[in-house]
Structure 1
């Protein structure tokens, strides 16, 4: 594999889903799969969620999504209005 070639064996369902996702993205399946692998290797995209869960476990404090989104929208509206 020193030259970058890699062969993966996927079950039929995974192969079908991968092909469908690549088709929807308008990309060749090999390129699409390589992008997914690279994205997965570039870091832990769940780190923020793990930290938030640890904070909840520590404090028991949580935020309701509707309130948080309303505050976010208001903040965006204020920033847009100030520009």
Structure 2
């Protein structure tokens, strides 16, 4: 099972509330961290100029989400 499907399965099996919220934020943060790494790498060293432009264009959207999700996670952990 792919990581995304595994996360969806876990979320669908969890009742709403703090446990679900924490799982959702953690999964979202992990996904955005992976997207940041992939797009950052492609923006710097992608073999296709169109790929580099697309990846570079995605970065300004990914980075603010990473920051917001990290803040949400910290607040949920009592650190925010």
Structure with the larger RCO, 1 or 2 (CA within 8 Å, 6+ apart) = 2
Larger radius of gyration: 1
**Structures share fold, TM-score greater than 0.5:** no
TM-score by length of 1: 0.30
More helix by share: 2
TM-score by length of 2: 0.31
